[in-house]
Amino acid sequence: MRSIVGLLVIVPMISWVLREEPYIEDIMGMAHKSLNTSRKFYLGMMSLTQVFSYFLLFGAIPMMYQFINQILYKKKTEAWENYKGTALLRSFALSTMWVVSIPSFIFAVETMNASLWICILQGFGISVCGTMIAVLFSYFQEKHYGVNLTYGLQDEIAEILLHADPIEERKKKVIEFIFLFQVKKV
């Protein structure tokens, strides 16, 4: 149980690294073709939130919300706020089923004397299914609000790319980011 306390203190410090350099913006600049529709962007937000939840625990929610607001800062309608908020909250909720650094997950595994790897794989499978269902629900929410979020998203991405670092610099930052988090995992 003492190891959980260490996780709660040390792991959020990783957010300092993420705030120091524009890693997330550079990842967005490199992956803009893969994230060019509202569904793909929603899936990308959910995936990144779950990955960052591994390192930042609850800190992943405000950090990702800040990142999304940097991209979609002009989008303040109810439809856009619903789009941003549901992606982050649903993905964090799903991450609690498989992310080993979430205290409730590790406590449940430890208390039940369950196999850690089996629990992680089962939770990850449920999380993938939940993510696909969330993406489907986001489609229906978009129809409910009667807006096409893809057009607005593409406009914002185009504006970000106008002010982005050169491609070589973005590649360097993305490789550096991957290296940093691979080393942190070991």
Per-residue model confidence as pLDDT tens digits over 105-120: 888 888 999 888 999 9
- Is pLDDT larger for residue 177 or for residue 148? 148
DSSP assignment of 141-182 = HHHHHT--HHHHHHHHHHHHHHTSPPHHHHHHHHHHHHHHHH
CA–CA dist 29, 14 (Å, integer): 22
Surface-to-core class of residue 158, CB atoms within 10 Å of its CB (0-12 exposed, 13-18 middle, 19+ buried): exposed
* Predicted local confidence at residue 4, as pLDDT: 56
Q: What is the mean pLDDT of residues 50-75?
A: 83
Q: Domain locations in the chain?
A: 2-11+37-185
- Is pLDDT larger for residue 85 or for residue 55? 85
pTM over 0.85: no
Q: How confident is the model at residue 130 (pLDDT cuts 50, 70, 90)?
A: very high
* Predicted local confidence at residue 89, as pLDDT: 93
